Amino acid sequence: MSEAKKLYIKTYGCQMNVYDSERMAEAMGGAGYVETDSPEDADMILLNTCHIREKAAEKVYSELGRFKGLKEARPDLKIGVAGCVAQAEGEEIMRRQPLVDLVVGPQSYHRLPELEAKARDGAKALDTEFPLDDKFDTLRKRGGKAKRGPTAFLTVQEGCDKFCAFCVVPYTRGAEVSRPVARVLEEARDLVERGVREITLLGQNVNAYHGQGPDGRDWSLAQLIWELDKVDGLERIRFTTSHPNDMDDDLIEAHGTCAKLMPYLHLPVQSGSDRILKRMNRSHTAESYLRLIEKIRAARPDILMSGDFIVGFPEETEQDFQDTLDLIEAVNYGYAYSFKYSTRPGTPAAERDQVDEAVKTDRLHRLQALITRQQRAVQDAMVGREVGVLFEKPGRLPGQMVGKSDYLHAVHVSDSNLQPGQLARVEIVESGANSLAGRLVTATA
Ligand code: SAH
Ligand code: SF4
Ligand code: F3S
């Protein structure tokens, strides 16, 4: 038997890309490839890329340049670009970087083995179609039964119809599509059989999920969560990313009543200024967002809120920015991700009056200082509380295990009897720089 070929995948961007990279590795497994951690001994290098901000896209070109030497030493090495940059500028990549043998968009990577075969024959291979066949189905049939870690992502919804004025996702990922409930359940059960205990349901707008249910009707995300709640062995359910406009009452209620649904919600708002929100085409106001959070907290008072913010969106004034800071003060976030507005060609906001780079930088620093204070306070307030922890791997010190709390904080506990995949009740005793230290109260299976 010939030795397996080696595949090196590097993943950029969001969790959906992480999920996609796993599926691509599985698909290539069917074509005789095993994964490797080092590009030096790979027969194929695949970059799974992100197009969300300018820097993310530029990174791809600089990374590709670094493979020049490898390709010269081994002309047999195949180099591929997948993901959102591939979708947005596939042909340009081929032109700009002759090292690239194949380009595959996020909706067609189930065809990767065929593209690889084409590249092996010496042709350039490009596929950035939005095909009608369900790529997930094709991929599932090829997957093996390998053991998995305790946590996994599961994509249930893809694409976006919202067209925020700054964002490339509707162009790179296409229109909103939801996978049927039966397919999601099948994949969830399979993951649990392989050792997974926590599943994070993924979608660019995951709470707009409307997959076909077993009764032929469209099911909501809340209905899907209740169905997953019945899966024995699945202990925790999370979902990301949500849009404020799709946070329906059933989903809010599930946060109060579904024990497996974790008390953490990523609900990006982008700005606290109604003027800017309107120009962003967000179709919600700061006030409606705050009222929504009140409702969510009424259902689940201890829920930890997380958000995304863009500073320096075109025409953002100091007053608009102050409104954003006020909104952050009002919400009290446990986590938040913040970005300087980045011009994306082809999006409406790219054509408008841009904010000075220095002003953007200053606002980002001020916003991040506020967020850091809040995050810190929320984390410190965990000290003295008892929380659930799902342990994932050994920590840095001997006998130490680390895992995530219900609220997604990293927690480490020193107890040599703990195993990865174990759930435990833990009392938080200390709040460190990036994690909490805990003491075991009770360990379950
Ligand atoms: N679908 C999700 C997330 C999309 S991308 C949502 O609607 O919330 C993740 C984050 O990247 C966004 O929430 C936004 O804060 C940021 N982002 C998107 N486009 C951007 C741009 N052009 N410049 C800066 N940040 C951007
Ligand atoms: Fe982008 Fe807006 Fe869609 Fe989120 S909702 S993916 S920010 S267009
Ligand atoms: Fe980036 Fe595409 Fe995700 S642009 S954030 S990898 S959907």
Report whether residue 16 contacts ligand 1, using a CB cutoff of 6 Å: no
* pLDDT of 139: 64
The domain spans of the chain are 5-127, 146-262, 268-381, 386-443
Residues 185-213 have pLDDT tens digits of 999 999 999 999 999 999 999 999 999 99
Answer CATH for 268-381 from 1.10.3720.10, 3.30.750.200, 3.40.720.10, 3.40.50.1370: 3.30.750.200
Report whether residue 341 contacts ligand 1, using a CB cutoff of 6 Å: yes
Q: 386-443, what's its fold?
A: OB fold (Dihydrolipoamide Acetyltransferase, E2P) (2.40.50)
Residues 49-83 have pLDDT tens digits of 999 999 887 899 999 999 999 999 998 999 999 99
Backbone angles phi, psi at 196, to 5 degrees: -75, 135
pTM over 0.85: yes
CA of 209 to the centre of ligand 1 (A): 19
What residues does ligand 3 touch, defined as CB less than 6 Å away?
Answer: 13-14, 16-17, 50-52, 83-84, 168-169, 172-173, 204
Q: Which atom of ligand 3 is nearest to the CA of 15?
A: 3
The confidence band for 112, taking pLDDT boundaries of 50, 70 and 90, is very high
DSSP-H helix ranges across 82-165: 83-96, 112-120, 135-142
* pLDDT of 50: 95
Q: What integer is the mean pLDDT of 420-445?
A: 93
Helices 249-257 + 286-299 axis angle, to 10:
30
Atom 10 in ligand 1: which residue has the minimum CA distance? 308
SS3 of residue 371 by DSSP: helix
Report the C-alpha gap between 323 and 211 in whole angstroms.
37
In this predicted structure, the answer to whether residue 404 has a pLDDT above a threshold of 80 is yes
* pLDDT of 43: 96
CB 153 within 8 A of CB 18: yes
In this predicted structure, the answer to whether residue 141 has a pLDDT above a threshold of 60 is no
User: Helix/strand/coil (H, E, C) string of 47-69?
Assistant: EEECCCCHHHHHHHHHHHHCCHH
Give the number of other Cβ atoms within 10 Å of residue 358's Cβ: 9
Q: Six-digit token pair at 406?
A: 């219900």
Residues 363-374 have pLDDT tens digits of 999 999 999 999
Tell me the C-alpha to C-alpha distance, in Å, between residue 6 and each of 110, 148, 207, 268, 321: 18, 20, 37, 39, 49
Q: Six-digit token pair at 356?
A: 């000075």
In this predicted structure, the answer to whether residue 124 has a pLDDT above a threshold of 90 is no
**To the nearest whole number, what is the mean pLDDT of the chain?**
94
Which residues, in sequence order, are CB contacts of 191 under 8 Å at separation 6+?
A: 148, 152, 154, 199
CB 7 within 8 A of CB 47: no
Residues 222-270 have pLDDT tens digits of 999 999 999 999 999 999 999 999 999 999 999 999 999 999 999 999 9
Residues 335-354 have pLDDT tens digits of 999 999 999 999 999 999 99
| Beta-carbon-side half-sphere exposure of residue 437 (alpha carbons within 13 Å) | 10
Tell me the C-alpha to C-alpha distance, in Å, between residue 225 and each of 16, 19, 215, 256, 391: 19, 19, 16, 13, 23
Q: What integer is the mean pLDDT of 411-420?
A: 92
The class of domain 146-262 in CATH terms is alpha beta
Q: 5-127, what's its fold?
A: Rossmann fold (3.40.50)
What residues does ligand 2 touch, defined as CB less than 6 Å away?
Answer: 160, 162-164, 167, 169-170, 204-205, 243
